[in-house]
Every structure is written in structure tokens, then in C-alpha cells.
Amino acid sequence: MLKISDLKAKVADTEKEILRGLDLVVNEGEVHAIMGPNGSGKSTLSKILAGHPDYEVTGGTVNLDVNFRARNLLEMEPEERARNGVFLAYQYPVEIPGVSNAEFLRASFNAICKAQGADEMDPLEFDDFLKTKLKFLDMSESFINRAVNVDFSGGEKKRNEILQMAVLKPRLAILDETDSGLDVDSLRIVSEGVNKLRSKDNAIVLITHYQRILNHIVPDHVHVLYKGKIIKSGDKTLALEIEENGYDRIIREHNQA
Amino acid sequence: MTTQDNKPLTSNDVQLTNREYKYGFVTNVEVEEFPKGLNEDIIRRLSAVKNEPEFVLEFRLKAYRHWLTMTEPKWAHVAYNDIDYQDLRYYSAPKKKGDGPKSLDEVDKEILDTFNRLGIPLAEQKRLTGVAVDAVFDSVSVGTTHQDVLKEHGVIFCSISEAIREHPELVKKYMGSVVPYKDNYFAALNSAVFTDGSFVYIPKGVRCPLDLSTYFRINAAETGQFERTLIIADEGSFVSYLEGCTAPMRDENQLHAAVVELVAQENAEIKYSTVQNWYAGDKDGVGGIYNFVTKRGICAGAKSKISWTQVETGSAVTWKYPSVILKGDDSVGEFYSVALTNNKMQADTGTKMIHIGRNTRSRIVSKGISADESINSYRGQVKILPSAEGARNHSQCDSLLVGSNCAANTFPYIEVKNKTATVEHEATTSKISAEQVFYLKSRGIDEEGAISLLLNGFCKEVFKELPLEFSVEAVRLLEMKLEGSVG
């Protein structure tokens, strides 16, 4: 579904390269965890996949299968990526004062429906639809009328991202440090939500610093990102190894090779 | 908000470009107009053209003589070229054929077409339902719709010229009672040379069955528009009144100096809404309307209420402070405002709430949006007099900056002379951030939709005060004015 080849990128208007030849293939139904120490380029990767204007791609390709044909993701505007099933759950969800969750999500849902040729929903229809999603994720109906992320606790913000994911049903969801800043209970609730949304048709890329979220969302593949490259890949046991020995040993092995 | 959320937009990220002003056309009609210049003869001639009773001419002349002794106020945070009052025309009206039209359907086709293009159909079969419209074209009212229904309820809604002829006792009693001709420079000028505007009287206990609306259109060049509106809500009555304004695009500035007076008797309520979209000049600040307006209401009776809601999106320079004098005990004054400036527009606007009666309450919600190189200032006064036992005020002034070359100012003046009063003032300044726009885009919403959602969120408290059909119009107007594009 997603094929990243030799991706190189930097922060726009700077010289420092952050991604230095990254390769990754993600297929339908898979969950990939991307782990790495601070500064390895994890968040940069997620921002680039979503099309953030602060980053500039300097080399390589990213292809996304759309209707069984590979399309160049990097040429698409951020909204076009979303309309083609790409979703980024933010590490720091943004506050939108005065705009209710329902208004925001309906605008988003309808924009995507319209692009995909599906019927749009009116406000009443959408509220009912939103309620079923809130129930599915065991979230309070108060989320409907609250302004997007305004005065939300850290945990509520992350749950709100997962609510958006449930509403928009992306084919490719990138979760950027969704576990950061969550207490044990919030982590469990958010993870359960993500697990409910896993299916054989969609794929999830989980970006994380720590192994603990992987106890809840069990990955098919684990990759270690270091200095803008994937230096080691494996199955879920790789995450446990990192938990036990830290990144140092893997980095040492990599440097010796 | 984290700093990451709040990263300001630079003008390169998102630009608010000005779509062409779609009301900028000129109508070709044969006109009757006065030569340029202002003197007592012009005023006498104006009064004669309008067949006014003697007391109105006297009012005009007293105002004119007083105006001559005054100097133009310069305290507002705006800069503009000096106005040459002798280089303006004080009367311009479409030429009447014979005795003039007997009904709206006989009005000159060119003028009906003009209002059609502005979205205000006046002809019988097409007119807006639920709203009675008085259409003012330059210096005259060309007609008022739905007169029959209003008459059944005893509501008087006509042009001020007609009211002066048909209801002189009401005009004599109330005109100048809220805004005396000595009030300020532009009010004095208006009192001397006002041409047309609307008059409303709602009798005791009547809830006006329709929204009343006046649409002001400037068409003629080098002509000032000096309209005067007077609304009286008698005991226990209610009226919702709306006004809209547009003008052609011209390179020279045009002066619009209006006076609006509202009187609410015991238990009466007046809801006054404005969507102001005068031509604002081009992106270099050439042309546009100087909008120098005095609007004031008095809550004369106990438990009365006056509510001003304004959406100000036009004019090169705006100087406007719709105010409420809270004289009756337990009376309520409200001011809800969205003022948008872009290009080189300058707006100095706000309100005055004067608390005189006991337990009077006022609420101020002001939302200023400035873009490009514009300057947007809120200026508000809350005055609690010694008699205003238990008075309360809450003010909230929020400014939103788009780009880094614009400015927003807040000038609150608070004067409290009664210890039992409560006055609260909150102010915020924020920017539309690139992170907010990106967040919305990454959810499939295009840039235009994203900016429109953000602006609507910012203005929500004010928009919800507008009558439904106006709030749709206001949203569309903001979207039209501020169209985002990636630079």
C-alpha cells in the first residue's frame, strides 16, 4: 500500500538533512512500529507523509496505492492525501477555538466523501453517526459540542485523534507518539480504540519512543530508525529487546557493520 | 496552547487576497442634483425639495451654524486626507417622471435592476418574504415593501422624509433627542444636511410581524450620503431591524456620515443589526468610503433592551461607536461586533455604555480581524454614573491578526462612580496559525474551507446574534473578503 524508497528530507530553509535514505514497505492489514531515540527523524517522517510545509523532500520516492495503482504521495496536497485515505494522529493535536468537534469532523468527513464520490451528511445525520462512533470508543457525548481540543486534557486530545480516525476510516493511519504524555489508563483506552479500528484492509504505522504501547497494540513489524535511516527491522521481539537493552546496542552493532 | 500550536503565519504561508468587490458597479440614471458646496442656501433648497415643515429647516440651520464653530475630531486612530466640504454635493436623486412612482412597481427599471443585482428584489412578486425593505438610493428612498401588512399592525415604517411630512409630531418629539445636533462634528453636519433614511414606530404592545430592513446604496460620484434613521419602540413592543450598505468602486473617497437614533420605552426591545460593506478602496488604499457614523440608543423605560450587532467589512476609514444610554432601571444594552479590515483599511470602532438606571446591565463582545496592512482598533467606554446602583458590565475584546503587517489596538475607557457596580474587561490577541490551517488540511479540508472554519469559530458569538438570513450573508461576506491562497 505504501512504498517509501531512499527518502531524504530536511527542514525547509535549513541545510541539515534529517531523513537520509529511508526505506519502508507497508501492506494492507499490517501494523508497523517505528522506534528510535530522540532526534532520529521519527516525527519528521510522519509530518512528511502528511505533507507538512515546514519540511522539504530532497530525494527518494513515496508511493501510495490508490485504486490498485501507485501514486506519488509527495505530489499531493495535504488535503488530497487525506482524501486518499492517509491520516496522521498528531503528537500535539492543535486547538481550534470556537469550532465544535461536530462542525469540524463533519466538514472533514464531507470533504472526503465528496472527493470519493460518496454522499455527504447533513448536521443531524452526522450527529447520529458521530454518536455511534463515540459509543464504539466508549467516549462521552460531551465531545460533540466541545471546541476542537480546546481545554482538553492530554489524554482527551489523544482520544479525540482516535475519534477522528474512527470517523474518517483511513486506509493508512500514522500515529505519531500517540502514547506520549498518557497515563496507564489513558494508554489502555486509546490502544483499545486503535485495536478496534484494525482491519485487513487498513494499515497502521505506529511511531513511538517506548515499547509500552506495543504491549497493547501488537505490531507485525518493528523498525529502528537512527539518524534518518532504518538500521534494523524485525518482529515484535525486537521491541522487547530494545526495552531490555536500550537503543545503544543496536546502534553499536550498526556502527560496526 | 503550546507554542507549536501558536506559530504565527507569515504572509508567505497564507495570504488573504481580495476578491473583486462585486457590488462595485455604477447605475446610469438621470439625476437631479445640487451643485457642489455647502451654505445656508443649499440647506434651504434641500428642505424645500423635500417639502419639509418649518421646524425641520430650523433644526437644520441651527445644526449648520453650530457645525461652523466646530473642528473635525482627530482623536481616532485613523489617518486620512482632509475632506473639502465645499467640494461635495449634498443632494443627488434619480429624476422623477411626472408625479413620481405611485407604487414600487413603477420605480425606474434601472433602479429596480440595481437592487436586484444587490440581492434585494423590490418588485411585488419577487420581494423577500418575512422582511420589509426600505431601499435608499443616494439621497432618497425609492420605496418600502410590505407596507400593507405593517399598517394592519399599526407599525409605521417609511423613509424619514415621508415621516417628516406624515408624522411630524413623532419626528419633532424624538429627532435629536438621543443624538443632539451639538453632539459631535459629523452629527452636526448630518443634522444640517441629512437627506434620507428610515423611520420606524412600533406602537405599544406590538411585536413587529416582519423584520424591517433598510438597504443603503451610494451610486452618484462626488456626493456625500447623509442618512438619518429614527426608530421608536413604544412600551412593551419589539422590533428587529437590519441595514445593509454598498457603493460603487471609485478612485476618490466618498463621505458617508449617518446618524441613527433608537428609543426603547418601558419593556420594549430593539434589535439593530448592520452588515456594512461599503467599497473599501483597492489594495493600495485608493478610493473607498469614509464611514463616520453616530449611532446611539436610549433605553428610556424600565426593563427595556437595545442590542446592536454589527458586521463591518467595508469602508476605507470607519469611525463608529454604536452606544446605549441605560436610563431605565433594569434595562439592558448589548453590543456584538465583528470588524474586518484588510488591504489598507482603517477601522476605529467600538461602543459606549452609559449606565444611569439601577441594576442596568451591558455586554460587549467585539471581534476584530485585521489582515494585510490594515489597522483595526476597538475603542469602548463603559460609564457607571452614581445613580446606577448594582450596574453590571462585561466586555470581551478579541483581535485576530492575519499576517505580520497589520495592527490591532484596544482602547477601553472605564469610569465607575458607584461602588456597587461590577465591571469586567477581557481582551485577547491571537493569530491564525499555520499549524491550525495544516491540521484542518490534513483532515481533507481545503485551505479556503480551513480559513473559513477558523474565522467562523472566532466570530461565532457575534454571528449567532444575527437574524438567520443575515448570518448566512455575513459568513459569505467574510469568505469572499478573505480568500486564502498558498503563496
Give me the interface pTM, i.e. the ipTM.
Answer: 0.96
Residues of chain A positioned with their CB less than 8 A from the CB of B442? 50-51, 78-79, 81-82, 88
Contact flag A82-B441 (C-beta cutoff 8 Å): yes
Interface of B with A in 426-455 (CB under 8 A): 433-436, 438-447, 449, 453-454
Reading the block at residue B483, the C-alpha cell is 480568500
Note the pLDDT of residue B144: 76
Do A79 and B442 make contact, defined as CB atoms within 8 angstroms?
yes
Amino acid B485: pLDDT? 27
Substitution target in B6, B13, B338, B442 with the highest count of A β-carbons within 10 Å is B442
pLDDT of residue A117: 92
Written as nine digits, the cell of B298 is: 436610549
Rounded Cα distance, B187 and B354, in Å:
19
Using the predicted structure, report yes or no on whether residue A156 has a pLDDT greater than 60. yes
- Give the best residue of B3, B445, B452 to mutate against chain A (max A CB count within 10 A): B445
Contact (CB<8Å) B459/A98: yes
Give B431: exposed, middle or buried? Use CB within 10 Å, 0-12, 13-18, 19+: middle
Span A206-233, mean pLDDT?
Answer: 94
CA separation for the pair A94, B7 (Å, rounded): 11
State the sign of the Cα–Cα–Cα–Cα dihedral B434, B439, B441, B447: negative
Task: Looking at the complex, report in whole angstroms how far the Cα of residue B29 sits from the nearest Cα belonging to chain A.
Answer: 45
Q: List alpha helices for chain A, DSSP H.
A: 42-50, 78-83, 101-115, 123-136, 154-168, 184-197, 236-245, 248-256
Strands B483-486 and B317-320, by their bridges, are unpaired
* CB of B2 less than 8 A from some CB of A: yes
Cβ neighbours of A208 (radius 10 Å): 23
- In this complex, which of B5, B456, B461 lies closest to A94 when CB atoms are compared? B5
Angstrom distance (rounded) from CA A94 to CA A88: 12
Q: Among B468, B419, B29, B353, which residue's Cα sits nearest to residue B221?
A: B29
Question: Which chain B positions have a beta carbon within 8 Å of A43's beta carbon?
Answer: none
Among A51, A53, A95, the residue with its CB nearest the CB of B5 is A95
Determine, for residues B1 and A95 on separate chains, whether the beta-carbon distance falls below 8 Å: yes
Burial-class residue B216 by CB neighbours within 10 Å (0-12, 13-18, 19+): buried
Query: How near does any CA of chain B get to the CA of A58, in Å?
Result: 20
Q: Helices B434-441 and A101-115, interaxial angle, to 10°?
A: 50
Q: Report whether pLDDT(A78) > 70.
A: yes
**What CA–CA distance (Å, rounded) separates A179 from A125?**
32
- By Cβ distance, the residue of B439, B453, B457 closest to A94 is B439
The verdict on a CB contact (< 8 Å) between A98 and B440 is no
Contact criterion met (CB < 8 Å) for A99 and B453: yes
- Cell numbers representing residue A151 in the block: 481545554
A78: nearest CA in chain B?
B442
3-state class (DSSP) for residue A195? helix
Q: Indicate the residue of A77, A82, A98 with minimum beta-carbon distance to B458.
A: A98
Q: Pull the grid cell for residue B341.
A: 479590515
Q: How far is A144 from chain B (nearest CA, A)?
A: 15
Strand partners, B402: B371
Residues 165-224 of A with CB under 8 A from B: 168
Least confident of A89-93, A227-231, B108-112, B242-246: B108-112
Which residues from chain A sit within 8 angstroms of residue B5, using beta carbons? 92, 94-95
Tell which A residues from 16 to 35 touch B, by Cβ distance under 8 Å.
none
Q: Is the CB of B442 less than 8 angstroms away from the CB of A164?
A: no
A82/B contact by beta carbon, under 8 A: yes
pLDDT reported for residue B74? 86
Q: Which residues of B touch A113 (CB under 8 A)?
A: none
DSSP letter string, B355-391: E-STT-EEEEEEEEEEETT-EEEEEEEEEE-TT-TT-
- Average the pLDDT over A79-92 and give the result: 96
* CB contact (8 A) between residue B454 and residue A50: no
Spatial separation of the C-alpha atoms in residues A83 and A142, rounded to whole Å: 27
Handedness of CA B436, B437, B439, B443 (dihedral sign): positive
Q: pLDDT of chain B along its 487 residues, tens only?
A: 333 334 443 333 344 444 566 677 777 777 788 888 999 999 999 999 999 999 999 999 999 999 999 998 888 888 888 888 998 888 887 776 555 556 666 677 777 777 777 776 676 556 666 677 777 777 677 677 778 888 999 999 998 999 999 999 999 999 999 999 999 999 999 999 998 889 999 999 999 988 888 887 777 777 788 989 999 999 999 999 988 866 666 677 788 899 999 999 999 999 999 888 878 788 887 888 888 999 999 999 999 999 999 998 888 889 899 999 999 999 999 999 999 888 888 889 999 999 999 999 999 999 999 888 888 999 999 999 999 999 999 999 999 988 778 888 999 999 999 999 999 999 998 888 889 999 999 999 998 889 888 888 999 889 888 877 677 777 777 777 765 422 2
